[in-house]
Amino acid sequence: MGEFQLHDVRFFRYMPKAIHSIAHETTNRVAVSRSDGSIEIYSINDNWYQEKIICGDAGRSVEAMVWVGQRLFSAGLHGDIIEYGMTKLIPKYAVDSYGGAVWCMAVNNTQSSIAVGSEDGCVRLFEVTEEELSYSRAFKKQEERILSLSWHESGEVLVTGSCDNIRVWDVATGLPTLRIKVERLVRTRETIVWCVAILRDFTIVSGDSLGKTRFWNGKHGTLIQSHHCHKADVLSMCVSKDETLVWTAGVDPKVIRFERVAGKDEGSRATWVRHNVANRHTHDVRALVMTGEYVVSGGVDMTLVAMPVGKLGKPSRNILPFPQRRLVHVAQTARRLLFQYQTRLELWQLGNTTAVSGMPDERLPITQQPVSLLDLKTKNMKQIVCSAVSGCGTWVAYGDVQHVRLFHLPKEEGVKVLQRVRCLPIDLQPAHHMTFTHDASGLVIATNQGAVQFLRVDAVHPILVHTFLPPKSVVHPTTISALTVSSDSQWIAAAHLDCSVHVYNIKARKHQCSLPKHPSPVSAMTFHPTEPWLMVVHASQQFFEYDVSESRYTDWSRNVQRQGLHREWLKRSEVVTQVAYHPANPTQILLQDQRMFCVIDKDKKLPKPGSQFYSRERLMRLDPAVREETRHAFAVCRGYRALLHLSFLEDGAELVAVERPIKAVTDKLPPTLSQKRFGT
Amino acid sequence: MATMSSCFEVCSLPSSSRLLGIEPMCGGENLIVTTEKSVRVYRVRDQKLLHTWSIRQGQQLTSPTLFNPRTEEFIVLQNKKTICLWTKDLEHLHKCTKVTVKKPISHLKLLPDADPIIVFDGGSPWWLPCITAAPDTAVLDLLDIEEELVWCDVISRGGGVLVVCVSKEAKTDIQSSSYTAYLCEMLPGNQDTPDYQTLQLTPPDNTSTLLACCVAEHLLSIWSCGSVCSHSLDSSLAAAEDGGVVVPGNVLHKLDLPKGGVSSVSVVMLGPDHVGLAMEGKDSVQIWDTKFWTLQADRSLQDVPGTGVDKLYRYGDHMIVARQTSVAALSFSTQPTSLAAVMGKQTAEAAALVPQEWGGPVKKRRHLSAESSGLLQKLLDPHQTKALPAFDQAFFQLKSDSEVLGSPAAACQLVQRVIGQQTFWARSALTELVGTGLLSGSSSPGLFERVEKENDLELWRSCLRHVKEIPEASLVARVRYLLGLDESLLEAESADVPMEMAEQDVPACPLSAAKAALLDQVLYRSYSGPFLQDSLAELQFTQVMVFLRYLHYKLTSAPAPSQGHEGRVVSVDQVVDWLCALVDAHFTQLVLTPESRDVLLGLREVVRQRLQFYQGLNDLDALLAQLKDKSPPLVTKKQDESLYSIRTIQIF
């Protein structure tokens, strides 16, 4: 028992994109924008669960983002300021910035207006109204482009940084009150002030392309202090809430912290002292944001790093750049894999081996190599939001921000033509998640309006059977974060971002029940193969098994909750992205996150909270007698970076693990700043 | 013995003006560097510039600046006729006290305990206070008209000061010049022109010129031919005023001068027995011992910035080197010279010392007790222990003192005594000494020869086992002895090597079992190839043949290299090494002699068979390597780089 043939698949060449900017929202969420224009929203409270992904577009670039309350605005080099709908996850509208490409954007303290710095050298103010953003006025034009922008706390003063100078503006009149000239190192090369901030006491902090962090007196325009700590440009900066700490980072991937030290005597000036240096990144750091407890940084090396600010407390986190939603779908009967890239899909046939091994961890000789069956590119290079493949491997569907597309791959030999199913029903809404039923007769779609639609799949005439909506008590349905359908095609479960889980009965075409609300959102769900049980895993590492027909928790789940989960399990920093039952032996449940997978055996005893929690490798190395004693329900296999997908194949004797080694990704990055090291 | 250590640059000189001299201030702590235009005072240890004065345009300084500690004044000559005096607080040099005299002055000299002395161009020395008090005093010339003053120095002698001036008279007809030394004794308080004596300095050969001089008790002069001569300054030898006594200088040493000759050499006294020497063109400073004229230390100045060596001075324990662009200070130290120190002979104390135990807590070096050392002396002394019983008895007594027998030096000396003793053969004592294992091949020469002379095979075997590091020449000599050994002397011992019947291809052992055993002991010792070959060339040809046959036999019967270590049996690779060395050493003879033919053919046959065996092994090795490549490698999860792989995994 417990022996599987594992297919290690590493030819899913997914390349995540570099981080361009980060914005922090007051409800402890962080919006991270990537170089392809997509924006990911993480919820810090929920273990950095990736709640939403707003897909990018070919013509859209994001240079700066701001949160105004719960609303997200972004602006980029295409010259538009875009507001996004947080439910539908598409741009609501775009407002022209009237000045060409937008380099920087900032919102004032009262969240009433946004200042936008653009290519033509003008700072423009936009009023934030209930419905939309309206243009207010423009400041006096200056010659160079405005590269960085910061509001004073009072909202009356603004400071901008551009090439060779820093200007302090009076917001009421729109005129510059002070101009600080930043010297050039080489006469022909201008010094660019990449980031600027103004503190309460009118101290201006600036980071420029010479690598210097400078502190200026904002009232008189004199230099207080200059620190040359970076070896190359300083690209980003953030200031703590109490304005005693400043972090800077740039092309030189160090994040340096400056602290304000009060002068010794009364009345003497405070100095800014360079503090510690954190070396978490390998490439340029383009964005640096201070949330209350963390300093979040991201850049060309694609990883989001959160460093805690206080001395004690949480360790720093590296969030892997892969999306937490499913990118790989398995057609279990047909042994096919569907890879979802940003703008295309690939369908592969898995390889085979006829050898039967005796030794554990032995590599078997491959008799048949994997074969690529399909390479599908989207129209106009639109980004794919979600995709699905049926169990028999003949139906492939994907959805982008506007449409759902369905394709049929006939099974007959010799006919390798993909047929697109043209007449899809008009009511079909754009999808966030989709999945085929087990017998491929239906396609379940989680729409971007928070509803669930069931489509009967047919090559010629697909019909929208029903649209399931959450019960009336929910006024505004939130985005659906997870969707699953049972294998007997009877139940559909949809989990929303407001932590509610609704179960629908397909045959009866109605809402069956809602699970009790848990404070943390659902990250993965699955139905039992035979029983009407729903296994739900939350972002806080808690999991429950719910009997939907009887609307109560199963006995085993109650047992687990009563005993409590082991500390090691709860301490894990990765969110479980997938859960599945063993098809042949449903007492075994497989949970997978990006670094490990775990098989829980319901028959075995649960680990006691105080005992040792071994991983499988360590367990295997122990003495057999000791192993029997310490063996418990959780069998954890570590050592993956990053594991994108793991699931059973049809008979349950084979597992498919799709891994994207992080080293393969980082090897393709552009070269970093060369630094001289001792001895080389 | 002398050593020179750290050298550092004190200051750099401007190339525009010529360095006139470097004088000390405060006993060598500070230096006054005088150029034609300026006077600067530096502190040596941190190269700090303390004072600087420069003169106006159009004037120049003509002598090194002196500092008179008595009056705390600086004295310098300006334009040869003006004496400037000032204290260190003076701001501008032109404001100093000036005294002008009528005749040009060539040197200013100063000794620590006396007044400064002025030496005029004509060679007459005067006390400075006399001249400054009365600048118009008439000064008479000592030198003749054709003579010019080339060198001048002062030393203190007796209560006064002796001024030595060397003048050169250029004779146009003969190319050499003649040199005269004028010695003037000046007593303090003496107001008049002092008396003087002259010495004629003869150059060692006719064409050489005087390069440099320095004076201590003798006048040391270096000539352009390289000779270093010393002239006595004894006033009794010198004659009074007019008659010059020719004093041939003793040629002490011939210096190795570079081929083209040098134009200038700088020499300075570094103490009673040492002088510092620097030659023009070489960037180094040498210290010579004046008693024996040996080079004690040589230091190149290439690590210090600057080029060339112009002049050397010595102040305190530093030699000041004036180079073309900088001034460097070189610290040196000299020890009194003695012949023993120069030659490097060891003192006799070492033999009586006992080696120290390193295992436990550090103990002091123990010397032998008086009684034991007395016994030791008695044993060593041929007169005291003339006969064997006396020797044995003394030895027995000495044996009880374990320290003596623990000392290798004592053991070596005793062994030497025993070996050297022709009248009796102290076998038991020697056996004991050899058994201690303290002897080595180099410390006891002649041991084996003596033992062989006595034909004492047991002792011989014991020596071979216990004496460490026998040189190859000695090994070969042992082989020669064995091969020439009479069989009757050998006892019928149980042979280590079994005798084999001569089969068709396998050669028989040409030596008797006992001899073979002994020879094995010799062959077993460690050796190194090149030395062995040289020594084997000494063997006689008949012996070579016997040896060759034996080695041939050994080649077929000796066990493989990996075996046989514990049993002290000669292994195949050692036999091969000896064979190689032997055949190489006597190659021509072996080629020419007809009787060596069968042995060589037999050897060739054996070697060919072995080579075939190794070729077979090579083929097998190639097959096994292929097998290794074909089998799937054992790859762990972490190393797996392939894009797709299937493996079994056991979860529970």
Taking the CB of residue B591, how many other CB atoms lie within 10 A of it?
Answer: 10
Q: pLDDT tens digits for B342-401?
A: 666 555 555 556 665 566 555 555 565 666 677 677 777 766 667 777 777 777 777 776
Q: Which of B642, B645, B650 sits opposite A3 (nearest CB)?
A: B650
Phi (first) and psi of residue B525, to 5 degrees: -65, 155
| Residue A499: other Cβ atoms inside 10 A | 19
Which residues in chain A touch residue B632, judged by CB atoms under 8 angstroms apart?
363, 365
Residue A636 has a CB neighbour count (10 Å cut-off) of 21
DSSP category for residue B249: P
B203 residue type, one letter: P
| List of chain A residues whose C-beta atoms are within 8 Å of the C-beta of residue B642 | 8, 10
Give the total number of structural domains in chain A: 2
Q: With an 8 Å Cβ cutoff, are B651 and A631 in contact?
A: no
For residue B646, list chain A residues with Cβ-Cβ distance below 8 A.
Answer: 5-8, 351, 353, 363-364, 366
pLDDT band at A474 (very low <50, low <70, confident <90, very high): low
Whether the CB-CB separation of A252 and A673 falls below 8 Å is answered with: yes
Q: Distance between CA B380 and CA B400 in Å, rounded?
A: 17
What is the residue type of A9? V
The DSSP letter of residue A643 is E
Task: Return the SS3 of A505.
Answer: strand
- Closest among B401, B447, B400, B397 to B427, alpha carbons compared: B447
| Mean pLDDT for chain A overall | 87
The reply to whether B570 falls in a domain is: yes
Residue count (chain B): 652
**Nearest Cβ partner of A2 from B632, B645, B650?**
B650
Chain B residue numbers with beta carbons less than 8 Å from the beta carbon of A364 are 646-648
At position B249, the amino acid (one-letter code) is G
Residue pair A601/A608 in contact (Cβ under 8 Å)? The answer is no
Please state, in angstroms and rounded to a whole number, the distance separating the CA atoms of residues A86 and A73: 11
Same domain? For A232 and A356 the reply is no
Interface of B with A (CB under 8 A): 632, 635, 637-638, 640, 642-652
Across the interface, which of A357, A369, A616 has its CB nearest the CB of B644?
A369
Contact B647 A366 (CB under 8 A): no
Instruction: Identify which of A4, A11, A370 has the shortest CB distance to residue B649.
Output: A4
Q: Please indicate, yes or no, if residue A2 is contained in any of the structural domains.
A: no
At position A111, the amino acid (one-letter code) is Q
Taking CA atoms, what residue in B is nearest to A354? B646
Token representation of residue B566: 């514990």
From the CB of residue B595, how many other CB atoms can be counted at a distance below 10 Å? 10
Contact B644 A5 (CB under 8 A): no
The answer to the question of residue A478 being in a domain is: yes
Cα-based distances in Å from A386 to A270, A435, B466: 54, 9, 88
Task: Please say which residue of A529, A546, A572 terminates a domain.
Answer: A572
Identity (one letter) of the amino acid at B30?
Answer: N
| Any domain includes B447 | yes
Distance between CA B60 and CA B186 in Å, rounded?
A: 30
Q: In terms of CA atoms, which chain A residue is nearest residue B645?
A: A8
Distance of CA B422 to the CA centre of its chain: 39
Q: How confident is the model at residue A203 (pLDDT cuts 50, 70, 90)?
A: very high
Q: Would you say residue B85 lies in a domain? A: no
Tell me the backbone φ, ψ of residue B324, rounded to 5 degrees: -70, -35
Best of A3, A6, A8 to substitute, by most chain B Cβ atoms within 10 angstroms, is A8
Residue A209 to residue A226: CA distance in whole angstroms: 13
Which tokens belong to A599?
A: 């098989």
- A634-662 pLDDT, tens digit each: 777 777 778 888 888 877 788 888 888 88
**pTM of the prediction?**
0.56
Which residue has 């004779």 as its token pair? B171
How many H-runs (helices) and E-runs (strands) does chain A carry? Answer: 5, 56
Whole-number pLDDT of residue B173 = 58
**Tokens, residue B154:** 């002062």
In a domain, B560, yes or no: yes
B274 to each of A182, A662, B290, B291, B625, how far by Cα in Å? 67, 75, 5, 8, 73
* DSSP code, position B127: E
How confident is the model over A158-191, as pLDDT tens digits?
999 999 999 999 999 989 999 999 988 888 889 9
Residue A273 included in any domain = no
What does DSSP assign to residue A430?
P
The pLDDT value recorded for residue A81 is: 92
Interface contact B648-A361, CB threshold 8 A = yes
Alpha helices in B89-173 (DSSP H): 128-133
Q: In this structure, what DSSP letter does residue B19 have?
A: E
The total domain count for chain B is 1
Beta-carbon separation of B644 and A2 below 8 A: no
CB A292 within 8 A of CB A313: no
Distance CA A112, CA B536 (A): 106
Distances (CA, A) of A182 to A59, A99, A196, B402: 35, 25, 13, 88
Report whether B363 contacts B41 (CB < 8 A). Answer: no
Residues of chain B falling short of pLDDT 70: 1, 170-177, 189-194, 206, 234-250, 257-262, 337-338, 340-372, 375, 382-385, 401-406, 489-508, 558-569, 632-640, 652
Q: Is A17 part of any domain?
A: no
Amino acid at A206: S
Residue A419 belongs to some domain of the structure? yes
User: For A273, phi and psi rounded to 5 degrees?
Assistant: -115, 140
Nearest to A18 by CA among A314, A286, A294: A286
pLDDT value of position A629: 65
Q: Would you say how long chain A is, in residues?
A: 680
Residue B42 lies in a domain: no
pLDDT one-digit tens code per residue, A430-439 = 889 999 998 8
Q: Token match 């058994």: residue?
A: B435
CB-based contact A248:A256 (threshold 8 Å)? yes
Cβ of A363 and B637 within 8 Å? Answer: no
CA distance B47 to B31: 10
Q: Are A78 and A39 in contact (CB under 8 A)?
A: no
Share above pLDDT 90 across residues of chain A, in percent, rounded to a whole number: 30
Range of the domain at A212: 22-253
Nearest to A363 among B632, B650, B652 (CB): B632
A616/B642 CB distance under 8 A: no
Structure tokens at A647: 């699931």
Is the same domain home to A70 and A166?
A: yes
**DSSP of B157-179, one letter per residue?**
ETTEEEEEEEEEEE-SSSSSEEE
Is the peptide bond between B495 and the residue preceding it cis, with omega within 30 degrees of 0? Answer: no
Interface A-B: count of C-beta contacts within 8 A: 80
Domain that holds residue B566: 369-592
pLDDT higher than threshold 60 for residue A77: yes
Query: Considering the domain boundaries, does residue A332 fall inside one?
Result: yes
Closest of A402, A429, A481, A385 to residue A55, by C-alpha: A385
Contact A361 B651 (CB under 8 A): no
Residue B568 lies in a domain: yes
Which helix (H) or strand (E) element contains residue A598?
A: strand A597-601
Cβ atoms A504, A511 nearer than 8 A: yes
B62 HSE (CA, 13 A, CB side): 18
Is pLDDT larger for residue B397 or for residue A409?
A409
Q: Which residues in chain B are contacts of A4 at CB distance < 8 A?
A: 648-651
Judged by CB atoms closer than 8 Å, whether chains meet at B644 and A365 is answered as no
Gap between the Cα atoms of A309 and A315, Å rounded:
10
Of B644, B647, B651, the CB nearest to A599: B651
Q: Please say whether the beta carbons of A495 and A509 come within 8 A.
A: no
The 10 Å Cβ neighbour count of residue A597 is 24
Question: Considering CB atoms only, which of B635, B643, B650 is closest to A363?
Answer: B635
**pLDDT mean over A206-217:** 92
- For chain A, the residues whose C-beta falls within 8 A of a C-beta of chain B are 1-11, 351, 353, 357, 359-366, 369-370, 599, 601, 604, 616, 620, 631, 635, 637, 639, 655
- What pLDDT was estimated at residue B494? 44
Please tell me the distance from the alpha carbon of residue B140 to that of residue A245, in angstroms, as a whole number: 89
Secondary structure, 3-state, A261-326: ECCCCCCCCCEEEEEEEECCCCCCEEEEEECCCEEEEEECCCCEEEEECCCCCCCCEEECCCCCCC
pLDDT of residue A308 exceeding 80, the answer is: yes
ipTM of the complex: 0.76
Interacting residues of B456 by C-beta distance below 8 A, sequence separation 6+: B427
Shortest Cα distance, chain B CAs vs residue A11, angstroms: 5
CATH number at residue A545: 2.130.10.10
Interface test with B, best of A361, A371, A620, A656 (most B CBs within 10 A): A361
A114 within some domain: yes
Question: Within this chain, do residues A249 and A339 fall inside the same structural domain, yes or no?
Answer: no
**Rounded distance between C-alpha atoms, residue B27 and residue A45, angstroms:** 80
Q: Measured between CA atoms, how close is A412 to chain B, in angstroms?
A: 27
Per-residue pLDDT of A91-113, as tens digits, reads 999 999 888 899 999 999 998 99
> Among candidates B316, B350, B310, B348, which has minimal Cα distance to B330?
B316
Distance CA A10, CA A610 (A): 37
Q: Closest Cα of chain B to A59: distance in Å?
A: 34
Given A523, A545, A572, which residue is the final one in a domain?
Answer: A572
Residue among B247, B139, B240 at smallest CA distance from B199: B247
The yes-or-no verdict on residue A21 having pLDDT over 90 is yes
The pLDDT, as a whole number, for residue B495 is: 43
Q: Is residue A353 part of a domain?
A: yes
Hey, what are A528's tokens? Answer: 């039992």
Buried-state track B544-583, b at ≥16 Cβ within 10 A, e below 16: bbbbbbbbbbbbbebeeeeebeeeebbbbebbbbbbebbb
